[in-house]
Amino acid sequence: MPTFDQISHQLEHQAIEVPSWAYGNSGTRFKVFGSAGTPRSVQEKIADAATVHRFTGLAPKVALHIPWDKVEDYSALRRYAQDQGIEIGTINSNTFQDDDYKLGGLTHHDPVIRQKAIDHHLECIRVMGETGSRDLKIWLADGSNYPGQADIRARQDWLAESLAAIYEQIADDQRLVLEYKIFEPAFYHMDVPDWGTALGHVQALGENATVCLDTGHHAPSTNVEFIVAQLLRAGKLGSFDFNSRFYADDDLIVGSADPFQLFRIMFEVIRGGGYGPESDVAFMLDQCHNIEKKIPGQIRSVLNVQEMTARALMIDREALKAAQEAGDVLGAHEVFMDAFYTDVRADLAAWRETRGLPAHPMRAFAESGYQEKIEADRVGGTQLSW
Ligand code: RM4
Ligand code: MN
């Protein structure tokens, strides 16, 4: 097995995009708990995101959500982010909170509503021009609750038309990234429920259209790393929305519910060429911190990704291949598990120090006084993430 020192240079390529909404208050349909220090503006969310980057060196970009992060001057917002030491990443559209979208947005039976939803995406593309963002990520809440309620077939045709109208405005250096989700908020059918549907649509659009894999958006026991392998093989894995789940779309800290799954995903990413300077896969978090503190929650998350990436990089690929080709079932499995069971935390701490970062980012943040400062300063921060 390679040593940590043999793989550590590859960790320099790691860049994770944090979501602006992770810093706002969030909750379940039962309760949103307020928290001290909550950002009162998008600038304060960006400042918190930049703090995660300062303590970890892992999070150079923050993803925004429109209209949650709407401002007058996006060029100024871009400069603000740069002054804080980060860039603005993916722009996420939102067609799930306007009454007009009750029965759908891009897939609505009424062309007037469809056009409204298309126009929202065109606005997002204009925002991207000013923020310097590459990716427009589209997640649709569209679907139906009762059999017979909607023409599920016609809605696919409307979706294809709507997406084509949006894609037309995507510049050569931009991408449209389509996210899928098995259920919720619609319970009978979703218009983009799975990676096959998403892949079909983005393949019809063209080269700059790809799929976003949100790790919380599958049926229980789905083999997510197999989907990773398939999308990479098709050249269509655009981005991840990382989070963990026990039951449905729980949006918990990535790597907390099932670190082994994160390891398996990172292995397929590396195996499939999705990791490193040549890859254009965006590694985003899509999480909510309902009861824990938000900034430490995000720091923990990016560290979890780093840890499982390091372990996945340590798989002895040659030994694995040899065992596979010899038909050595348990030998191959052992090579795989050897890397998974290797504790890299001390090595990572030492490596961080060589790069001028705190060895223990969680501890360093706790001791920095940042949390106390925002709790004292940001009085009245009720900024909801939705
Ligand atoms: C959705 C989906 C999107 C995210 C919103 C907040 O479930 O995962 O990616 O933008 O939540
Ligand atoms: Mn998501």
Say whether pLDDT at 140 is over 60. yes
Contacts of residue 190, Cβ cutoff 8 Å, sequence gap at least 6: 140, 142, 143, 180, 181, 182, 183, 184
pLDDT band at 384 (very low <50, low <70, confident <90, very high): low
Q: Which H or E element spans position 330?
A: helix 329-340
**Cα 160 from chain centroid?**
24
Q: What are phi and psi of 210, to 5 degrees?
A: -140, 180
Q: Which atom of ligand 1 is nearest to the CA of 21?
A: 6
Tens digits of residue pLDDT in 273-316: 999 999 999 999 999 999 999 999 999 999 999 999 999 999 99
Say if ligand 1 is within 6 A of residue 251 CB: no
Q: Is 241 in the pocket of ligand 1 (CB under 6 A)?
A: yes
The pLDDT, as a whole number, for residue 379 is: 86
What percent of the chain has pLDDT above 90? Answer: 98
Q: Is 286 in the pocket of ligand 1 (CB under 6 A)?
A: yes
Ligand nearest to the CA of 186: 1
Q: Ligand 1 within 6 A of 179 CB?
A: yes
What is the C-alpha to C-alpha distance for residues 349 and 360, in angstroms, rounded to an integer? 6
Cβ within 8 Å of residue 128, ≥6 positions away:
91, 134, 135, 136, 174
In the block, which residue shows the tokens 């093989």? 233
Strand 61-65, strand 16-19: pairing: parallel
Answer yes or no: is pLDDT of 386 > 60: no
For residue 187, report the phi and psi dihedrals to the nearest 5 degrees: -110, -20
For residue range 225-265, what is the model confidence (pLDDT) as tens digits?
Answer: 999 999 999 999 999 999 999 999 999 999 999 999 999 99
Q: Whose CA is nearest to atom 3 of ligand 1?
A: 139
Q: How far is the CA of 215 from the centre of ligand 1 (A)?
A: 11
- Ligand 1 atom nearest 137 alpha carbon: 9
* 209 beta partners: 176
SS3 state of residue 142:
coil
Q: Is the pLDDT of residue 177 over 80?
A: yes
17 lines ligand 1 (CB under 6 A): no
Q: In this predicted model, what pLDDT tens digit does every residue of 192-222 receive, in sequence order?
A: 999 999 999 999 999 999 999 999 999 999 9
Strands (E) in the chain, as ranges, are: 16-19, 61-65, 87-92, 135-139, 143-144, 175-179, 189-190, 209-214, 237-242, 282-285
- Residue 73 reports pLDDT greater than 80: yes
Residue 193 region, left (φ>0) first, then alpha (ψ -120 to 50), else beta?
A: alpha
CA 212 to ligand 2 centroid distance, Å: 8
Cα 151 from Cα 103, distance rounded (Å): 12
Question: From the CA of 241, how far away is ligand 1's center (Å)?
Answer: 8
pLDDT band at 382 (very low <50, low <70, confident <90, very high): low
- Among 207, 235, 237, smallest CA distance to 225 is for 237
Q: Provide φ and ψ at 351, rounded to 5°.
A: -65, -40
